[in-house]
Each structure stands twice: as C-alpha cells, then as structure tokens.
Amino acid sequence: MLRISVFCLIGIPVLACGAPVVGQPGQVVPPTVYELLIDGESFLVEANRAVKLQSKEQPGVSYQVALRVATTQRLRLNSVQFEYDWLNKVEDTGTRPQRSVRLTHELGFNMRIAELGGPLEPKAQDEALKILTETLVDTYKQMKVAKLTVGKPQERKFEGTAGRGVVIRYNDAQEFGHTSLVYVLAGQKFTVSCIVQYLDNDSDDVLPLIRKTLDSFRPAQSGTP
C-alpha cells in the first residue's frame, strides 16, 4: 500500500569548505566565514568580500579571491537533489528514509517536496496524486475558501522528470485568488511529490522560480551539497 505524507564557487584547484546547504531545522543565519583550500593551503575568508590572500607556504605567491553566495542553491535529500532560489527559507524534516522539505520564498510562495521512494509506475503515480489532491482539497474545504475548483490530472514533463499534476484554485476571504499545483514526478531512481502554493497576482514573478526547481530534480549524487 502506498503511503503518502503531506506537509501543508582560474586555473588553480580550489575547494571551499564550509557548512553545506542542507536545510537544517532552525537554521536562519547562514555562515559568514569559510575555510578556503588552495593547493592544500588553508585560508579563512569572509563571504561576499573580495580579498588578496598571501601564501605562507609559498613566499611571494598571492591569490585574489572572492567567495559569494550563489543565487541558486542545491539541496540533496536521500534519493533526489534539486536547486532553488537562495531567498527561500528551508525547513527539512531530517534523515528518515523518505524525507520532505518545505521551501518558503520571500515573495510569498511555498513548495513542499517529499520523497516517495524509487520510480513509481503510472498507476502508482495516479494513486499518489489522488491521495495528495484529496487531502489538500479537504483542507481547503475546512478553511471554507470560495470558488474552489480542481482540475483534471494531466501529464507533466520537466527536464529530469515526468509524471502527473493537478491544478487547484480558490479565493480567500479577501477575494484574493490562490493557485496550488500538485505534482507526482518520477525520475531515474526516485519519485517525488511537490505541492506549490502562490497568489495569482504574483504568478509572473514566481512561476520562473518554481519552474527552475521543477526542472532541476536529479538523482542524489554522493558528495554533492
């Protein structure tokens, strides 16, 4: 029986050693000082600053470096990894066999991504999508939203996955329109569910960011932060 959980840095070898982006629970302030290894020599570098480093092991040798936070970050779960805009707050449930993560963006939209195991056959994808959709619709009905509409399941294909999706729309008490996208997507060695929620008025700004994440699902690679 399928079990679904819903949770509404030229030319020189350089290795930056710091806290990986793993979405640890409660993590709010990112690290600001990193250890930078250049040809085996260690330097401490502050983020978002250009600095000239003098080698102690090779007198007269210096390096001009800058360590900046990339606008696109990568998160690895157990079976899948994906990319997201750095302005997201990440809430990760931890290391259980099938993990889930919630991304909440400064623009106001959120994405809930959960591992469902290995690649699922179309029938199992349909079952998972039905469970997710019904659970979300029941929640909206309890909220007594207005103009609730549920689209028919449609095939969806992104750069690294393919599967099924449903569009749910409703109006809140202030008559603002909301859209929820419910996906079950299978790739090599994994299947994930993804629930996206955003205000209709923000769609032009948020949809490109959502698409970037949906296109980025890939099998998790060992050693990739």
Condensed to tens digits (0 to 9), the pLDDT of residues 185-194 reads 999 999 999 9
Measure the CA–CA gap between 89 and 104, rounded to whole angstroms. 5
Query: Please, which pLDDT band fits residue 67 given cuts at 50, 70 and 90?
Result: confident
Measure the CA–CA gap between 208 and 196, rounded to whole angstroms. 13
Among 6-15, 38-47, 63-72, the least confident range: 6-15
Range of the domain at 168: 72-219
Work out how many domains the chain is built from and give that number. 2
HSE-up of residue 127 (Cα within 13 Å, Cβ side): 11
Query: Please, which pLDDT band fits residue 148 given cuts at 50, 70 and 90?
Result: very high
> What's the confidence (pLDDT) of residue 29?
64
For residue 101, the domain's CATH number is: 3.40.1000.10
Chain-centroid distance, C-alpha 53: 34
Condensed to tens digits (0 to 9), the pLDDT of residues 138-147 reads 999 999 999 9
Q: Let me know whether 46 and 137 are in one domain.
A: no
**Which stretches does DSSP call E strand in the chain?**
14-17, 33-38, 41-46, 49-54, 62-67, 72-76, 80-85, 88-92, 100-105, 110-117, 146-150, 154-157, 162-171, 177-187, 190-199, 218-219
pTM confidence score? 0.77
In-domain check, residue 9:
no
In-domain check, residue 56:
yes
> What's the confidence (pLDDT) of residue 223?
57
Q: Let me know whether 56 and 133 are in one domain.
A: no
Query: Please, which pLDDT band fits residue 1 given cuts at 50, 70 and 90?
Result: very low
- pLDDT score of 23 more than 60: no
